[in-house]
Amino acid sequence: MTEPINVVVTGAAGQIAYSLLYQLAAGSVFGPDQPINLHLLDIPMMMDVLQGVVMELQDLALPLLRQVVPTADPAVAFKDAAAAFLVGAMPRKQGMERRDLLSANVKIFKIQGEALDKYARKNVKVLVVGNPANTNALICSHYAPSIPKENFTAMTRLDQNRAQAALATRLGVQVDKVQNVIIWGNHSSTQFPDAFHATVNGKPVPAAVNDDAWLNEVFVETIQKRGAAVIAARKMSSAMSAAKAAGDHMRDWWMGTKPGQWVSMGVLSDGSYEMPKGVVFSFPVTINNGKFEIVQNLPINEFARGKLNATAKELEEERVDAHSVLME
């Protein structure tokens, strides 16, 4: 009998968690043989709503789901955690400056980093979804010095999935025929969705599309602004697709990538592709035995270099702002 693992979801009463929790309980992320205990963290005023989520989880009647622990206390939530989805964050309210948003979130991710450091397993895998995801992941790992830096990642998988789907639509193929599209940099509108190394049915995407202007302009902008387009239509931000992407990210990290395929994850930069060290930057990675490696030596043309530098600059600015908030 495999022992259950503790899986934390923060923002557990929110809309992304609502779609994510089913995937976790059904075994689509940690596999059909891995029982789980769900530790659900939210803020005190959401505890009533969270009770409703707990009832629904119970009513799923899924055998892999062992215990469900709803709590507003990070010490309880992160106890012996093997995996953590940090979804909860302070949302941007009307009239809020970027710095105010960063300030509120830096404080949340400092507290959660400290709790991970104290209570979680030392090999816990932490996926930050809550925005600004890259910088939140950086802050969180900073406050969890006893956990290796490579155990903290930020989600750009939704952007990758959007890019893959957009290329499949353009080429008129099934979505899984498109592989190895890359998201570079920040999960923000400066991200660079890069189709130049992608393949369709094993052949290069640029040749199949045969329209570099479309790839450089329309495609890039569509993916950068896809989140805003969903909000405009749905009056709420992406949730079903975000939850699916969070599941994809953690499953690949847990189980590994397929031979010849890579995925994009925000990871602490080691200076690969001449990007600044010490920011959480989205790179293409391969994963084996729970460890990722940044794919090396992909040719970067002048156009791509400009895009990479722009998103790196934004991440460096966020890091400066985050540290200045922490100094206050």
For residue 291, the SS3 value is: strand
Q: Which residues pair with 192 in a beta bridge?
A: 184
Distance separating alpha carbons of residues 109 and 126, to the nearest angstrom: 12
Residue 187 makes contact with ligand NAX by CB under 6 A: yes
| 60 versus 111: smaller Cβ distance to ligand NAX | 111
**Residues 7, 38 contacting (CB under 8 angstroms):** yes
Residue with tokens 């499949």: 168
Query: Binding ligand NAX by CB under 6 A: which of 224, 237, 257, 309?
Result: 237
Query: Binding ligand NAX by CB under 6 A: which of 130, 185, 247, 284?
Result: 130
Q: 73 Cβ partners below 8 Å, 6+ apart?
A: 41
Residue 267 makes contact with ligand NAX by CB under 6 A: no
Shortest Å distance, C-beta 284 to ligand NAX: 17
| 21 versus 294: smaller Cβ distance to ligand NAX | 21
**Interface stretch with ligand NAX, choices 24-32, 128-136, 168-176, 303-311 (CB under 6 A):** 128-136
Shortest Å distance, C-beta 33 to ligand NAX: 29
Please report, as residue ranges, which positions from 7 to 26 form the binding site for ligand NAX (by CB under 6 A): 10-11, 13-17
Shortest Å distance, C-beta 39 to ligand NAX: 11
By DSSP bridging, strand 36-41 and strand 5-10 are parallel
- Active-site positions read 187
| 46 versus 120: smaller Cβ distance to ligand NAX | 46
**Residues 137, 279 contacting (CB under 8 angstroms):** no
Q: Return the H-helix or E-strand segment holding 111.
A: helix 98-119
For residue 183, the SS3 value is: strand
**Interface stretch with ligand NAX, choices 125-133, 252-260, 274-282, 318-326 (CB under 6 A):** 125-133
Shortest Å distance, C-beta 268 to ligand NAX: 16
Residue 91 makes contact with ligand NAX by CB under 6 A: yes
Residue 247 makes contact with ligand NAX by CB under 6 A: no
Residue 43 makes contact with ligand NAX by CB under 6 A: yes
Nearest C-alpha neighbor of 272 from the set 262, 283, 261: 283
The closest residue (CB) to ligand NAX is 14
Nearest C-alpha neighbor of 200 from the set 162, 170, 161, 157: 170
DSSP string computed for 39-85 = EEE--GGGHHHHHHHHHHHHHT--TTEEEEEEES-HHHHTTTEEEEE
Identity (one letter) of the amino acid at 144? A
Query: Binding ligand NAX by CB under 6 A: which of 102, 108, 182, 215?
Result: 108
Residues that bind ligand NAX (CB under 6 A): 10-11, 13-17, 41-43, 46, 87-91, 108, 129-131, 133, 155, 158, 187, 237-239, 242
